[in-house]
Amino acid sequence: MKAIAINGSPHMEEGNTAMILNPFLEGMKEAGCDVEVFYTMKLKIGPCNGDMSCWFKNPGICGQKDDMQMLAPKLKEADIIIWASPVYYSGVTGPLKNLMDRQLPIHVLGSIGEKKQKVVLVSTCGDWDMSMFDPLLMQMKAIYDRPDGSSSFVGALLRPMADGVKEMVKAGETGLVDGVFRAARDAGRQLAKDGIISEELLKQVSKVLMPRDAYYKAAQMMMAEMQKTAKN
Ligand SMILES: Cc1cc2nc3c(=O)[nH]c(=O)nc-3n(C[C@H](O)[C@H](O)[C@H](O)COP(=O)(O)O)c2cc1C
């Protein structure tokens, strides 16, 4: 089984998104899945120019020559696609959205329905509130829950208050957060083995680690500290 993961975080391996994505992918590999990861920061992929030549003039072929030529066949052939992104203004990051738009030649009229792909979202945000992920979830479902069954959105690993989680890891407070990473790994293993991710594991990834007020207070103090450090 082949999986492709695209991480849209500018922080790549060091980011909060990788903190959840990586154990998930490790779990998939442990269960025998062949996983390839790409970072939008390392790819040269321009925005779609919207000329629709990939549908009408040269069906399935994009006129732009960049890294999408290498990536498109991989996206087309994958059994599982994992989109990973921090929440940026209620959406995925700009470079990831550009890449997603450039899938149009893959989804050219008539070719839909060839393969039953499974799609997963991995996302992190700074806010405490899970509702931050609602627009991304809606977008993923709208794109990938296709009525003809050619692809299905199997679930999302969502980690709110991710900046707080990073601080907890740095401070060595692993007791609370270990369960989150373990659940991400188990979710990867389950997806590769059974083709599903249980609600229980997804809940563990998103689990409340501290009360809302306490998090916002801690976040304010952290930001004041960061401002002081940045000025010095
Ligand atoms: C430009 C920008 C926009 C952001 N917008 C949101 C937002 O709308 N809601 C939110 O909760 N966090 C927002 N954040 C915070 C990030 O989603 C959060 O820090 C995330 O975990 C960063 O992941 P990364 O380290 O993988 O890049 C934003 C951060 C940036 C830089």
pLDDT tens, the chain, 232 aa long: 999 999 999 999 999 999 999 999 999 999 999 999 999 999 999 999 999 999 999 999 999 999 999 999 999 999 999 999 999 999 999 999 999 999 999 988 655 556 689 999 999 999 999 999 999 999 999 999 988 888 999 999 999 999 999 999 999 988 889 999 999 999 999 999 999 999 999 999 999 999 999 999 998 988 898 888 888 7
Confirm or reject: Cβ of 98 under 6 Å from ligand 1.
Answer: no
Tokens of 180: 């989150």
For each of the domains in the chain, give its residue range(s) and CATH number, in order of start. 2-231 (3.40.50.360)
Q: Which atom in ligand 1 lies closest to the alpha carbon of residue 160?
A: 11
pLDDT of residue 24: 98
* Ligand 1 probe mutation, 24, 85, 87, most atoms within 8 A of CB: 87
The whole-number pLDDT of residue 175 equals 87
Q: Please write down the long-range contacts of 101-104, taking CB distance under 8 Å and 24 or more positions apart.
A: 101/47, 101/48, 102/45, 102/46, 102/47, 102/48, 102/62, 102/64, 102/68, 102/72, 103/72, 103/75, 104/48, 104/52, 104/54, 104/55, 104/62
Instruction: Determine which residue's CA is closest to atom 4 belonging to ligand 1.
Output: 88
Atom of ligand 1 nearest to the CA of 17: 26
- Residue 177 Cα to ligand 1 middle (Å): 19
pLDDT at 55: 93
157 C-beta neighbours (distance < 10 Å), count: 28
Rounded distance between C-alpha atoms, residue 211 and residue 106, angstroms: 44
Q: What is the pLDDT of residue 222?
A: 86
pTM for the full predicted model: 0.96
**Position in ligand 1 atom list of the atom nearest CA 162:** 21
**Distance linking the first and last C-alpha atoms of the chain:** 51
Please work out, in degrees rounded to the nearest 5, the angle formed at the alpha carbon of residue 106 by the alpha carbons of 34 and 197.
45
